Amino acid sequence: MVTLSTALQNRCLCPFEGPTGYNGRMADRQHHSRRDFLQGKAAAETLVNRAQEWAQGWLDSMVGPLVDRMPSDPAMHVRASRRAMACEFAVQYHQADRKVANAFMDAFDLIEAVEDQLTIYRPESTVIDINKQAANGPVEVDPDLLGLLEQCMCLFQETNGAFDITSTPLSRVWGFLKRTGQIPNEEELAEALSHVDTSKIELSGQEKTIQFLQPGIEINFNSIGKGYALDRVAQFLDEQGASDYLWHGGSSSILARGCNRASLDEYWTIGLRHPLEPHRHIAEFHLRNRSLGTAGGATQYFEAAGKKFGHILDPRTGWPAEGIFTATVLAPTAAEADALATAFYVSGVEGAAEYCANHAEVGAVLVCPKENQSDISIHAFNLPPEDWTPSTIGKT
């Protein structure tokens, strides 16, 4: 059994063990030439990457609530991983598919390319350029990024603002970008909120441009970026003829294709851990050609005045979201699953119920504390028996 847990934040799942002997991390070590090192470029990039991981950790939607139940027989499966987006990305596929092994290794390079485009934690990126220029006029973007932006604007509207890619000013004023943790005063919070509104973004599909309708608007993709990267990977692997594999990013973003051929099931099985008793499972999800995302704030918070303040902020109020342990979403794409997990964590049971009532293709499980805070209640939407096997713990 392979466990996708918090430990994956600190080490690789396993090196690639296919016929070429290629290790998924070897490419990382080859990024820097000796000349770059002597010029200090590699050291500078290392410092930037560490700063990114330090900041991104506070913004990542959830660390390690998922468990992947798959046989660990090396004759059946191959596993490879590489660090990107301040977390561990890993894939598991079947050894019999070694003819497409290079495609899986190339997929890690694609994830890094997506990170290079989307990051706001390095000196340069496409998103950083957009944030600098888009208030002054239209900025041209490539078709893939335009599609992501259109998806984000649609999700903003459909979740009544619970998912908002312009929330960086709030994360900054709460100290989460620098991992300091601080409660803003009323004036600081109001000023930050005045620059948070995805409706202030204007896209032109014809011209392939983005423009901000108000100075001070910034975009970031922290709540959807890992899922988007996995969707790009799936598109690439489909073109390469790969099938029957499971990807995860940071163990909170999961994309499944086909089935686990090492079992008798026609799917991949993913377990959801109990938030108060991690050795227990609340449910098992059955994924086939589907994605899963989960969000929670139990591991990323600061304490002040005897109260915990989590890193997932409600972009409508500016305050940390409360009342949910974890929100888990099953959706057709990994980007949707990631974004909606965050949105449901923010909007709560009523918001999740409303969204799922209008989107039959999306399923969700929200784990909430009961009044005594020592027990849980579970709220499930659009999940037929073939999609999951719930336990009897806290079921409502």
| DSSP symbols for 236-285 | HHHHTT--SEEEEETTTEEEEES--TTSSSSSEEEEEE-SS-TTSEEEEE
Q: In one letter, which amino acid is 134? A: A
For a pLDDT cut of 90, what percent of the chain falls above it?
68
Q: For the chain, which residues score pLDDT lower than 70?
A: 1-75, 298-301, 392-396
pLDDT at position 70:
42
Q: What is the pTM of this model?
A: 0.83
Establish how many alpha carbons lie within 13 A of residue 123's alpha carbon, considering only the half-sphere containing its beta carbon. Answer: 6
pLDDT digits (tens, 9 = 90+) for 93-144: 999 998 899 999 999 999 999 999 999 999 999 999 999 999 999 999 999 9
Mapped onto helix, strand or coil, the DSSP state of residue 91 is strand
Q: Using alpha carbons, list the distances in angstroms from residue 328 to 104, 122, 220, 296, 316.
A: 26, 30, 21, 9, 21
pLDDT digits (tens, 9 = 90+) for 148-191: 999 999 999 999 999 999 999 999 999 888 777 889 999 999 99
| Residues 110/249, Cβ–Cβ less than 8 Å | no
Domains in the chain, CATH or no CATH each: 6-121+224-390 (3.10.520.10)
pLDDT at position 305:
75
